[in-house]
Amino acid sequence: MFSYCADPSTLDSTRWMLCYLTSGKHLLFYSSFGTVLLLLAVTAPVALAFGFGGAMAARSHNPGLRLFGKGYTAMVRGIPDIIFFMFFVIALDQALEWGLHQWRCPDWVEPIRNGLEFKVCPAAKVPPSSAPQIWHEVYGFALAVVTFAIVFGAFAANVLYGAMNAVPRAQLETAEAYGMSHRQVFRRVLVPQMWVYALPGLSNLWLILIKATPLLFLLGVKDIVYWANELGSSKTDTFAYPHGDWKLWYFLGLLVFYLAFTRLSEIVLSRLSRRLSRGQATMAGEAMRKAAA
């Protein structure tokens, strides 16, 4: 990166360190922090939407829909979520390819699942085998995002379902007494009031989502754990690095990153909680009203 890095013989240790920390691989490492933030930025709203849908389905009057909603919220309770992560990444991929196979190659005769293989016609490969490497990485990342969204959507559905039930019944009855329809009650009274009840659960969920991001590594995305593992070791697949085993320092760096991130989130979330409690018919809201008066 710096011009003096081109001549190794003149480097003293500090300048060597600077050159080392700005090597091409390290820049990739730094950009993988962006991958993690991107995952969080995409997953959080999508998971919230999934959770909202799940909670609505669990409250639905239609028994089929209700069963689906209840099943979705219950699925994460007894089973470790990491199993879902491992499962969905393969299952979604296979489901997609199977669907495309049925659509594009209707007269393909060979069985798809043949012994130990899962084989679809070339036209149904996602992404096509001729696609450049970047598309394979994007596809892998997209699969990871959808998996995260499904699993965390189930957690969010749990929280939101509880929050919807926590809104005082009298509020809804009053709205009904004013002649609002079911839909109006839901939109104008229930949803605006439920957030304050949902916030503690959702903040917890956000912190947990942050702490779940290293699992991207297990899903085969080149994230910060991958690069820390790669750069910290004394030797990679292709090159020997001019240092010993530095994995400990790289992982310490990741630890500090996560600690700072969760701490910062906690501070922001507690501010948000204060903001949302203002004017609410809860203890926190009442305390704020008294303090102001």
Partner 1 sequence: MTCWETIGAYAFRSLGYGERLLPKSDFTLCQQFTLIGSGLIWNIYFGVLALAFGFFLANALALAKTARSAWVRKPAEWFIFVFRGSPLFIQFFLGYQLFVLLPKNGVELWGITVHTDWLTKAWAGALFVLFLNTAAYSAEIFHGALMAVPKGDLEAADAYGITGFARFRRILWPTMLRLGWPAYTNEAIFLFHATTLVFFSSFPAFRQQGDALYYAGYFADKTYNPFIPYPIVGFYFICLTLLLTWAFSLVNRRLNRHLPSNQRARIRLRPQLIR
3-state class (DSSP) for residue 140: helix
Q: Which stretch binds partner 1 (CB under 8 A): 20-28, 46-54, 123-131, 208-216?
A: 208-216
Asked if residues 189 and 175 have their Cβ atoms less than 8 Å apart, the reply is yes
- Residue appearing with tokens 């001019």: 242
Binding status of residue 33 toward partner 1 by CB under 8 A: no
Of residues 58, 76, 149, 199, which one binds partner 1 by CB under 8 A? 76
State the minimum distance, in angstroms, from the CB of residue 63 to partner 1. Answer: 24
Tell me how far apart the alpha carbons of residues 153 and 45 are, in angstroms, rounded to a whole number.
9
Could you give the C-alpha distances from 172 to 128, 176, 182, 210, in angstroms and in order? Answer: 53, 6, 10, 35
Tell me how far apart the alpha carbons of residues 272 and 268 are, in angstroms, rounded to a whole number.
6
Pattern 159-178, partner 1, x by CB under 8 A: --------------------
Number of residues forming the site for partner 1 (CB under 8 A): 43
Binding status of residue 87 toward partner 1 by CB under 8 A: yes
Helix (H) or strand (E) holding 63: helix 63-78
Helices 81-104/133-166 angle, 10° precision: 120
State the minimum distance, in angstroms, from the CB of residue 189 to partner 1. Answer: 26
State the minimum distance, in angstroms, from the CB of residue 149 to partner 1. Answer: 14
> Closer CB to partner 1, residue 116 or residue 170?
116
- Residue appearing with tokens 């669990």: 58
CB-CB neighbours of 232 under 10 Å: 19
Of residues 188, 211, 243, 278, which one binds partner 1 by CB under 8 A? 211
Q: Which stretch binds partner 1 (CB under 8 A): 45-53, 185-193, 207-215, 235-243?
A: 207-215
Binding status of residue 110 toward partner 1 by CB under 8 A: no
Pattern 234-263, partner 1, x by CB under 8 A: -----------x-xx--xx-xx--xx--xx
Q: Which stretch binds partner 1 (CB under 8 A): 15-23, 217-225, 272-280, 282-290?
A: 217-225
Pattern 187-206, partner 1, x by CB under 8 A: -----------------xx-
> Closer CB to partner 1, residue 175 or residue 205?
205
DSSP string across 154-220: HHHHHHHHHHHHHS-HHHHHHHHHTT--HHHIIIIIIHHHHHHHHHHHHHHHHHHHHHHGGGGGTTT
Of residues 171, 184, 229, 273, which one binds partner 1 by CB under 8 A? 229
Binding status of residue 273 toward partner 1 by CB under 8 A: no
Of residues 78, 106, 111, 179, which one binds partner 1 by CB under 8 A? 78
Q: Which two tokens stand for residue 266?
A: 């906690």
Q: Which two tokens stand for residue 39?
A: 């995952």
The neighbouring-strand residues paired with 114 are 117
Q: 215-219: which pairs have CB atoms within 8 A and are 24 or more residues apart?
A: 215/82, 215/85, 216/35, 216/36, 216/39, 216/144, 218/82, 218/85, 218/86, 219/85, 219/89, 219/140, 219/143, 219/144, 219/147
Residue numbers of the site for partner 1 (CB under 8 A)? 76-83, 86-87, 90-91, 94, 113, 116-118, 155, 158, 204-205, 208, 211-215, 217-218, 225, 229, 232, 245, 247-248, 251-252, 254-255, 258-259, 262-263
